[in-house]
Amino acid sequence: MTRKKKKKILLIDDDLSLLTTLRDFLRFEGYEVTTADSGEKGLEELDSLKPDLVILDISMPGIGGVGFLKAVSSADGKPRYPVLVLTARSAMAEYFGEVDVAGFVAKPCDPQDLLMEVGRIIFLTAEEGVKSWDSSDARPQILLGEDDETRGKVLRDILIGAGFEVERVKRGPDLIERAIVAQPDVIVIKLIFGNMNGDTVARMLSELPKTHDIPIVLYDEGAADVSASEYGVDAPNIREFVHVDSLESLTEAVLKVAG
């Protein structure tokens, strides 16, 4: 029987304790893991290693994670290898809109969250190094920002029933990260949302080159007839502003924008 070849991971982090912990964890899960404790050493490892994935800490001395990314990226910001960024999210909006990274995991890092992202990215890039949603027959992608569990589940089920693929997130920073990485067809956000209101998220996305053209449906849970301008909502990427007196009315707005 032929043994399946292990996928190669280059893990770069200056926290030696975390480096050892994640290395051992990923090896136990069946990956071949090479470590480096700086961006410079990570670049040296690339001379002999062709990894299936690079897991990269951003905040390191020397050239750091940002310098490493610039060194391995083309002029249009496309890294030569899939890169999963470990980040505390500081300066994320200012920089990562310019760089085509494959994913994010927040620090401190939960090993199970990391494992899920590693598996997702390697699966998507295993065949041709391209994202599966490039397929012309793919269902439209919806990124949903809703922090209420009950409403989020119901709305997700309704949108899936209407023919969309739906990913739900519960916080503004998470939605920005996923929008940059996943490039959904439509973003649906609640106005009063998590720790960052939906109109703030919309304005931030409108200023990033990778997300400024993604249409957004912003919704308010009330049924009052108040215009977007009266709420102070003026981001150019907001296509519809809906007062939700029923979930069906929001679905109709999403269908209108997506269609």
Please write the tens of the pLDDT for every residue from 164-195. Answer: 889 999 888 889 989 998 899 999 998 888 67
- CA-CA distance, 27 to 35, in Å (whole number)? 11
- CA-CA distance, 101 to 83, in Å (whole number)? 5
Between 241 and 161, whose confidence is greater? 241
Longest Cα separation, the chain: 68
Q: Which of 81, 64, 52, 73 is nearest to 12 (CA)?
A: 64
Percent of the chain with pLDDT over 90: 27
Q: What is the mean pLDDT of the chain?
A: 81
Between 3 and 11, whose confidence is greater? 11
Please write the tens of the pLDDT for every residue from 99-120. Answer: 678 888 878 778 888 888 888 7
Is it the case that residue 137 has pLDDT exceeding 70? no
The pLDDT confidence band at residue 153, using thresholds 50, 70 and 90, is confident
Domain ranges in the chain?
Answer: 8-125, 133-258
Please write the tens of the pLDDT for every residue from 22-63. Answer: 999 999 988 999 999 999 999 999 878 889 999 999 888 899
Tokens of 219: 């919704």
Q: Do domains 8-125 and 133-258 have the same CATH topology?
A: yes
Could you tell me the fold of the domain covering 8-125?
Answer: Rossmann fold (3.40.50)
Rounding to the nearest 10 degrees, give the CA dihedral for residues 38, 120, 148, 178: 60
For residue 101, the SS3 value is: coil
- CA-CA distance, 177 to 135, in Å (whole number)? 22
The pLDDT confidence band at residue 225, using thresholds 50, 70 and 90, is low
Strands (E), 170-257: 186-190, 216-220, 238-243
3-state helix, strand, coil in the chain (%, to 5): 40, 20, 40
Between 97 and 180, whose confidence is greater? 180
Say yes or no: domain 133-258 is CATH 3.40.50.2300. Answer: yes
Instruction: State if pTM tops 0.75.
Output: no
